[in-house]
């Protein structure tokens, strides 16, 4: 057998949205930049309001503040590079920088998944066991849940990044995505990736399906308990906090599942547009949903602005 003359790859470029013309990419750049700045600003506001208002020093808002920090770091890992690629499609990224981006994307993304699960458990404890809530969701428990989320995110990111970048990359260097992600990188490898893809699928099931199933199971007794609340005002308040959480859960897990749980295929433009949902829109959706649908946050924000809370 003749030896193939393969050239080792030292850097990648992103296909991203290069299929669009310059004017369309400029429009996308402006839209994504505005969404990015809104995400940073809204998460900063949420953190400030929670920090300054002692009434919001509860487990629910503790998890929300940690989620806001994680979502902010998550967007910083992805969006600046995406914006740069929209203006300069041929700009290359070195393998170490690509590995770094993938690491932070996975670490913060997986952390977000398990933080949403912890928030689901918090809602379950608050609504189904209100008398024991302060005991069940004590400071130690909250710290353990957050530490567990971070540990799972970091350890999974280390495993995945090590797995992907142990592969040889030859000749092909255009990533069919707008950031460094596991599957598009594996498609560029000049080696058999079957085992690694099975491991990636297994990790995706554990990270996406398992937390989502746990959240929806917890909502069965939650909804049952809410329906038994005698006052309409009490039911409305309970449903409001749950609706905020469920909205973020459905969008985050739903869109990510479409990408990571589908059979092996080329990362199409449609997939990239779906990826925009959980990399650009969901991080903004979290603070917006929790602030617009939550009376306590709105009242705290109005007080911080020197205005009277809503009646």
Task: For residue 228, tell me if it sits in a domain.
Answer: yes
Residue 308 located in a structural domain: no
Number of domains in the chain: 1
**DSSP run (H or E) holding 60:** helix 59-87
Specify if 6 maps to a domain. no
User: 108 lies in a domain?
Assistant: yes
DSSP state for residue 9 in the 8-state scheme: P
Strands in 39-142 per DSSP E: 92-94
The answer to whether residue 296 is domain-embedded is no
Q: Which CATH number fits the domain that encloses residue 35?
A: 1.20.1070.10
Residue 130 sits in which domain range? 11-287
CA distance 271 to 255: 10
pTM of the predicted structure, to 2 decimals: 0.89
Alpha-carbon dihedral angle through residues 150, 151, 156, 162, given to the nearest 10 degrees: 110
Per the listing, tokens 């967007």 go with: 75
Q: What is the pLDDT along the chain (311 residues), one digit of tens a residue?
A: 444 556 677 889 998 888 888 899 999 999 999 999 999 998 998 888 888 888 888 898 899 899 999 999 999 999 999 999 898 887 889 999 999 999 999 999 999 999 999 999 998 998 888 888 989 999 999 999 999 999 999 999 999 999 999 988 887 888 888 999 998 999 888 888 888 988 888 998 899 889 989 998 999 999 898 888 888 887 887 787 788 788 888 888 887 887 788 776 566 778 888 888 888 888 888 888 776 666 677 777 777 666 666 55
Question: Is residue 2 one of the residues assigned to a domain?
Answer: no
Is 301 a domain residue? no
Number of Cβ within a 10 Å radius of residue 69: 15
Place of tokens 């969006």: 79
- Exposed/middle/buried for 252, CB within 10 Å: 0-12, 13-18, 19+? buried
């Amino acid at each position: 057998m003749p030896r193939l003359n393969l050239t080792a790859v030292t850097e990648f470029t992103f296909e991203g949205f290069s299929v669009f013309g310059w004017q369309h990419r400029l429009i996308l750049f402006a839209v994504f930049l505005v969404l990015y700045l809104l995400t940073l600003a809204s998460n900063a506001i949420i953190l400030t309001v929670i920090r300054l208002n002692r009434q919001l020093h509860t487990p629910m808002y503790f998890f929300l503040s940690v989620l806001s920090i994680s979502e902010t770091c998550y967007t910083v890992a992805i969006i600046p590079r995406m914006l740069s690629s929209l203006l300069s499609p041929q700009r290359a990224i070195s393998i170490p920088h690509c590995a770094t981006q993938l690491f932070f994307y996975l670490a913060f993304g997986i952390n977000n998944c398990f933080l949403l699960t912890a928030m689901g458990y918090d809602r379950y404890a608050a609504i189904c066991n209100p008398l024991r809530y302060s005991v069940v969701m004590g400071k130690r428990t909250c710290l353990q849940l957050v530490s567990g989320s971070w540990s799972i995110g970091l350890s999974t990111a280390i495993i995945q990044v090590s797995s992907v970048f142990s592969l040889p990359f030859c000749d092909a260097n255009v990533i069919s995505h707008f950031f460094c992600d596991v599957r598009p990188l594996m498609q560029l490898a000049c080696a058999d990736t079957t085992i690694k893809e099975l491991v990636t699928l297994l990790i995706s099931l554990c990270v996406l399906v398992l937390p989502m199933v746990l959240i929806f199971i917890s909502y069965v007794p939650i909804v049952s308990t809410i329906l038994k609340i005698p006052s309409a005002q009490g039911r409305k308040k309970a449903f409001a906090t749950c609706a905020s959480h469920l909205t973020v859960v459905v969008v985050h897990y739903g869109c990510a599942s479409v990408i990571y749980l589908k059979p092996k295929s080329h990362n199409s433009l449609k997939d990239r547009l779906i990826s925009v949902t959980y990399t650009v829109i969901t991080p903004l959706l979290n603070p917006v949903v929790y602030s617009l649908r939550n009376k306590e946050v709105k009242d705290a924000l109005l007080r911080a602005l020197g205005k009277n809370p809503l009646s």
